[in-house]
Structure formats: C-alpha cells, structure tokens
A and B are shown apart, each in its own frame.
Chain A
Amino acid sequence: MSDFTLAELCICCAAEAFRGDGEVLATSIGLVPRLGAGLAKLSFEPGLMITDGEAYLVSEPVPVGPRGGYQPKIEGLMTYERVFDIIYRGKRHAMVTPVQVDRFGQMNISVIGDYATPKAALLGVRGYPGNTVSNANSMFIPNHGKRTFVAGEVDMVSGVGYNPARWPGGVKPKFLDLRRIITNLAVMDFQGPNNCLRVISRHPGVSFEEIQDNTSFELVAMDGLGVTPAPTAGQLKLIRERLDPHDLRATVLPGNPPGIPAAGR
C-alpha cells in the first residue's frame, strides 16, 4: 500500500513492538500505542491482554472514540491495584510517551528544570520507576527532536534506563527491559553497543542524518539500515474500520502527514 498516513505507519510500528510478547498485559498510554496494541492483538499476538482503558480486560480491542452501540467484550478485571500486581510479576509491556528521553533510555514525566521550583511541573513520576525495573517498556514519541531526546540526562529520572552510574552497585536491575522507541522519524531499539540507542528503521523519506540531527546524543544505525515497511492492506483495514473508525489518529501528528512524503523532500 502506498496510500497511508505517517500516523498509520507509526501504529504499525507500535504493533511490531508487541510481537512475540504472548500473554502479557499491554498497557498502552495514548492513541498510537493503544491502536498499536490493538492491531498486534488482532493480527499476530492474539494472546495479548488489553483493557477498555479503565478497569476491565477485554477480549477484543475497544474501538476508540464514541462507541455508538458497541459494548466492550469483558473477559476479566484489571483494576489499578491489580495492575501493580502484574507489574511486579513482570507479565506486562508498557508503551508510554515521556516528555524527555536521554541516551540511556531514562525517561522523564515529572518536572522540567530545577526540581524544587521547576519551570514546568508535569504529571509526577506516575508508575515509571516501577514499570522500568519490573517489565518491558517501549515508547512512542510523536515529535522526534532535541527537546525530547536530550543531552546528558533527563531533568528528573522517572523511568530507569541503561545507565550503570545510577544502578545500585553498578549492577543492572534484574528486570530492566527497554524495547523500542517509535517516533515520527524512525524506529529505534536499545541493541547498540552498551545498550545505546540504535536506529532499526527510518520512515520513508527520512535519512539517518535527519534522525541524528534531531537527537541531542549520538545514535548508531543498524547494519543495513532500511526503510520502515509500509502497512499492509490488511493492517490498514483493521486500523481504519475496526480500531479507529472515527479517524482520531489524524490528530496525532501536526498536519496529519502522509506516510510517504510528497516528492521534493
């Protein structure tokens, strides 16, 4: 398929992040992660456990936006308290959107600037400290740029990363498992030397240099770095007809750009 949006491409990349997970709880915060988890469940990871976004496990992804007559297909309970039980057991893969990420994969969602009197107070660390030392974590970053991918360390380390200086005794936390970062430019993982960020695919029309220029720290490119594969017709049908019938995904990226940029880029 050549007629798809960048948001749709990102959703397919988000789905790929859950490949191989089996029976784990996919906690996907935000529209693209949620549609990605739903797509993974409907296409190649039927064992994934997903919720209605509130307190129930559902046997099929709940379409986002106004539900009309649709009733969530409940298959179990997943209250907030139980989410923590599942975190500590490790049977979970979270995909979140932090405000800052550094070269170690450390994430910030707490404050920007000085901790005592911050320039911007955000949400608070939420469950990031526990998520990152307990279960798999991926990220979706809709605005790949130097303000998000910061030099040095993030202002407040909310999510733990591959930074031995911060590990007790320099020993890697037993269950630290950062998987993928999907952005509007590329897909990355932490499989570079010493778990540094590695670009594993670049979106159509995007060069490695452009990705690097929009990142405050050095990236490595996967050997034979290629272009992110386009969504299949089947994936697009699932996204458009089942998962997001109201096209809420059109609001995720400014201008809702096409997946393949117009000639001249």
Chain B
Amino acid sequence: MPVTDKVCAISDIVGSLESGMTLGIGGWGGRRKPMAVVRELLKTDVGNLTVISYGGPDVGMLAAAGKIRKLVFGFVSMDLVPLEAHFRAARQAGAFEVMEIDEGMLQLGLKAAAQRLPFLPTRVGFGSDVLTTNPELRTVTSPYEDGETLVAMPALPVDVAICHANEADALGNSRISGPDPFFDEWLCRAAQRAFLTTEALVETSAFNDPLIALQMPIERSLVQGVALAPYGAHPTSCAPKYGMDIAHLREYSGAAKGGWPAYLERYVTGKGLDAYVAEVGGADAISALPLPVF
C-alpha cells in the first residue's frame, strides 16, 4: 500500500480543529512553539479549548483571545521574558479552569495516555497544593510489600497535538535539530492526531544519516499532516536557525495592557505566514536573531 502524501497547509491544520477539543501544543516556554498555527487559530471562531502546554506565548495568545476553557500546565513563561503577561491577566481574572500540576506529572500524564494506560504512579504531588487544587487526583497503594501510597497521575489524552520541527518530509518523518526535543514526542504519542509544521520540507533522503536519525523522536505513523511554515516558531526560538525575538516578545507583552486588538490587527488579522514574516522584519532579520544564551 502506498504511503500517503501528508503535506497540507497551515489552514488545513486549523480547519481540522473544533471547539471543545483538547489541544496539545509542543515546544517549551519561549522555544520552538508552533506559533504560525496559533496565530491562524486566532482568526477562527474555534474556542472552548482544553490546552495542554509547557506554556509560552502560545498559551498567552490563546488566553488573550478567550479561547481557553481549561489550561493544563506546570508553568507559563517566555524564558528570557519570564512572566507571560497575557496568561497572567487571564489567570488573575479567573478566565479559565486550571489543572496546575508539576511539569513531571504533566509528562507522566502524557506517557500514560501514550501507553493507553489510565494512570502512572508517582510520588510527585504529595505534600503540595497540587493535590488540594486538583481534587480529582487520586492515590493508589502499591500492591507489593512496600505498600507505599502513590499519586495516580491520570492519563492526559490529547485530541490534536501540534508541534514545530526543523525539517520534515511528505511522509511525516521529521527532525528536531535544536539541542532539546522537549516533550513534543509525548504530546504526539498522547494524541489521536498530530500535525507538524516545519521550517523546511525535505526529501526523505535528507534523513539518511545515523546521527540525524538520533534527532528524530517522532516517527511518521504518529503524524497526520505536515505543513511548511518557515519561521513559523517566531517570536519563539527555533534553534539552530533563529533565536527568540526578545524585542517582539516585549512588544507582545506590553499589548496585555489594552494593546491586544492593535497587536492582532498588525500581526494576525488577514495575514498569512509570509505577510507576518514581512511585518516582523523579514526572513533575514529573523535569521539574524541570536540564539539565546541562558
């Protein structure tokens, strides 16, 4: 049976999303976020979303647009701009439900879903307000001699996962060439469907290298569609190609004080990715953004 050509458009990815879904968003804080998809989603009337994310401006923008019903998270931060102003404003207003859990618990929840298990046991959560603020979290007793009581971190199934890769081919093979693949793999494994955006569409032969293969945590059977989105992580970083756009992130943060409509008007409304890239200074300017030093 021939394998399918999975190449699609950013708008196809967003077109497959429905209100009420659970969305898993890849990347980490201010790094390698599928922002082109997030911006495209802002243009739609899809809402009421449950969002699972190692949060950055993806969460902030969806929160500012009122699209989040429930946020499952351990943090929301833009790294070098530590606090996410739009997330904070919405959180402080009680605009969405929260399942605030330890980052490691988030990973366990994704791993449980990925393994089609109801939960995975952990000690994490005990003694903290994670258990009191999430009364749905249950405990389980070890059936072995130790008899230890553990937190049963429930599976966090995802309807649609969206991640941004450095390279992908039409079959859904992909490569993350930055130093850290983050938890994209687990979001994809926990998801019914996963979509990738990519800096570059390449021939499959581009992956014919044992060292490159080590940078390919997401096998193609996990992937439903691949959309070309050069500079699609901006204003977050996409190492090694470009760094965070700190100036843009500050401008975006500033927009939390009444400037959100103007931000949308300038960078989102009626703009595809090419027009967005031009508006933020062009491909050369993004390419010249230095990789962040931590």
Q: Which A residues contact B (CB, under 8 angstroms)?
A: 52-56, 65-67, 79-81, 84, 87-88, 110-111, 115-130, 132-134, 156-161, 163, 166-169, 173-176
Q: Among the listed stretches B8-16, B86-94, B161-169, B268-276, which one makes contact with chain A, having 4 or more residues with CB under 8 Å of it?
A: B86-94
User: Would you list which residues of chain B between 159 and 182 have a CB under 8 Å from chain A?
Assistant: 179-182
Q: Given the complex, which residues of B lie within 8 Å of A79, measured CB to CB?
A: 179-182
Q: Given the complex, which residues of B lie within 8 Å of A120, measured CB to CB?
A: 88, 92
CB distance from B82 to the nearest CB of A (A): 7
Mark B60-103 against chain A: 1 for CB-CB distance below 8 A, else 0. Answer: 00000000000001111100001100011001111000001111
> For this complex, into which size category does the number of interface residues on chain B fall?
35 or more
Give 11 A-B pairs besides A65-B293, A157-B129 with Cβ atoms closer than 8 angstroms.
A84-B107, A116-B94, A124-B55, A124-B74, A125-B128, A127-B74, A128-B102, A128-B128, A134-B123, A157-B127, A160-B126
Q: Given the complex, which residues of A lie within 8 Å of B128, measured CB to CB?
A: 125, 128-129, 132, 157-160, 166
CB distance from B111 to the nearest CB of A (A): 10
When A and B form their complex, which 7 residue pairs have the shortest distance between CB atoms, in order from nearest?
A53-B294, A160-B127, A55-B179, A124-B75, A121-B91, A130-B124, A55-B180
Whether A117 and B93, one on each chain, are in contact in the complex, defined by CB atoms closer than 8 angstroms, is: yes
Smallest CB-CB separation from B123: which chain A residue?
A: A133
Mark B260-294 against chain A: 1 for CB-CB distance below 8 A, else 0. Answer: 00000000000000000000000000000000011
CB distance from B212 to the nearest CB of A (A): 16
Contact flag A121-B294 (CB < 8 Å), given A157-B129, A173-B123, A173-B126 = no
Contact flag A84-B129 (CB < 8 Å), given A124-B73, A126-B75, A134-B123 = no
Majority secondary structure of chain A interface residues (helix, strand, loop or mixed): loop
Judge if B183 is at the interface, Cβ distance under 8 Å: yes
Contact flag A129-B293 (CB < 8 Å), given A80-B180, A117-B92, A124-B100 = no
CB distance from B51 to the nearest CB of A (A): 13
